[in-house]
C-alpha cells in the first residue's frame, strides 16, 4: 500500500468512529472503572520494572490492555530513565489519551497523528494550553517540528500498524527532532508476524519485530539503544518489546 492509500485508509477508519467507539476511549471519557479494573491497575504498578523480562500479572485480555494504558504515566518512569521536563512528542497520539498526562508533566507537548479526523477529536478533548496538534503524513513528520527541539518522544503501538519502511523512516525523523541526549520510547509486538509488512485493509495490522529487527530499526535511525524490556505471558505466543533509545 502506498503512502497516500495508507493515509486515506486511516482517515476512513477514524471517520467511521474507530476511536470514539473504542472501549478504551470510554475509560477516559465517561466510564467508571470497576473493582477489577482498579485491581489490574494496581497489579501492573506492582511489577518489578528493573527486570528485562516482565511477566504480566494476568493473561492477555482487553481489560489488561486497557489497564496498561491507564497506568502508563507511572510505569514508564519506573522502567526507563526519562526526562522530567522539556518538550515531549507524542507520535500517533490518537484521541489524546497520553497527551493528557504528557501535558501535566512537560513544558510543551507536540501531538501528531496520521488522521485529521482523530486530531480534530483530540483538539476538542484536550484543553491544555501547552500542546500543539499536527497531522502527519504516513511516513513523514510535520515540517513545523524543528530539528533538535524534542526532549522525549513517545510512540505507543504505532509501528505494528504501519509498513516497515514507514516505521524506519519515521523513527529516523524522530531522531532528527530529538535534542542531543533526547530519548525516544516505543513498543513493538514480537514473536508473531515478523515477516509481515502489511495487513487487511481497514483493520488494525499486527506487524511483528524480533529483537534483532528492533536493533536494526534503532541503528537505521541513528539512535543508541538504552534498554529493551520484554513483556510476556507463558501461555501466550505473542510478547511485547518496550524500547528506550537515546540520541548521542
Strand partners, 241: 188, 230
Residue 31 maps to a domain: no
Low-confidence winner among 30-34, 212-216, 225-229 (lowest mean pLDDT): 30-34
Residues 16 and 20: their CA atoms lie apart, in Å, by 9
Alpha carbons 206 and 221: distance in angstroms, whole number: 22
Residue 64 lies in a domain: no
**Above 90 in pLDDT, residue 27?**
no
**Residue 30's pLDDT band (cuts 50, 70, 90):** low
DSSP for residue 160: G
Residue with cell 500543539: 132
The domain that holds 187 is classified in CATH as 3.40.50.150
Please check whether residue 42 lies inside any domain of the structure. Answer: no
Residue 166 lies in a domain: yes
Please compute the mean of the pLDDT values over residues 100-128 and round it to a whole number. 94
User: Residue 93 pLDDT more than 90?
Assistant: yes
Residue 173 lies in a domain: yes
How many domains in the chain?
A: 1
Q: Is residue 12 domain-resident?
A: yes
Q: Note whether residue 30 is domain-resident.
A: no
Vertex 72, ends 189 and 47: CA angle to 5°? 85
Nearest to 192 by CA among 236, 230, 231, 156: 236
Give the domain range for residue 173: 3-18+84-246
pLDDT at 221: 98
pLDDT tier at 19 (50, 70, 90 boundaries)? confident
Give mean pLDDT, residues 82-88.
Answer: 97
Amino acid at each position: 500500500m502506498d503512502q497516500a492509500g495508507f493515509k486515506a485508509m486511516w482517515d476512513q477508519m477514524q471517520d467511521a468512529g474507530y476511536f470514539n467507539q473504542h472501549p478504551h476511549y470510554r475509560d477516559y471519557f465517561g466510564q467508571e472503572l470497576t473493582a477489577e479494573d482498579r485491581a489490574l491497575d494496581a497489579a501492573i504498578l506492582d511489577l518489578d520494572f528493573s527486570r528485562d523480562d516482565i511477566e504480566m500479572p494476568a493473561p492477555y485480555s482487553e481489560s489488561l490492555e486497557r489497564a496498561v494504558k491507564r497506568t502508563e504515566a507511572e510505569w514508564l518512569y519506573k522502567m526507563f530513565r526519562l526526562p522530567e521536563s522539556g518538550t515531549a512528542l507524542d507520535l500517533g497520539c490518537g484521541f489524546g489519551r497520553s497527551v493528557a498526562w504528557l501535558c501535566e508533566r512537560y513544558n510543551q507537548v507536540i501531538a501528531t497523528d496520521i488522521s485529521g479526523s482523530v486530531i480534530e477529536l483530540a483538539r476538542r478533548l484536550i484543553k491544555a494550553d501547552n500542546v500543539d496538534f499536527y497531522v502527519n503524513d504516513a511516513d513523514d513528520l510535520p515540517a513545523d517540528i524543528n530539528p533538535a527541539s524534542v526532549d522525549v518522544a513517545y510512540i505507543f503501538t504505532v509501528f505494528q500498524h504501519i509498513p516497515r519502511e514507514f516505521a524506519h523512516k519515521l523513527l529516523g525523523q524522530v531522531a532528527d527532532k530529538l535534542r542531543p541526549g533526547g530519548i525516544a520510547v516505543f513498543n513493538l509486538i514480537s514473536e508473531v508476524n515478523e515477516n509481515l509488512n502489511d495487513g487487511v485493509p481497514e483493520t488494525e495490522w499486527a506487524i511483528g519485530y524480533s529483537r534483532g529487527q528492533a536493533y536494526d530499526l534503532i541503528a537505521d535511525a541513528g539512535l543508541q539503544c538504552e534498554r529493551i524490556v520484554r513483556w510476556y505471558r507463558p501461555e501466550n505466543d505473542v510478547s511485547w518489546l518496550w524500547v528506550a533509545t537515546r540520541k548521542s
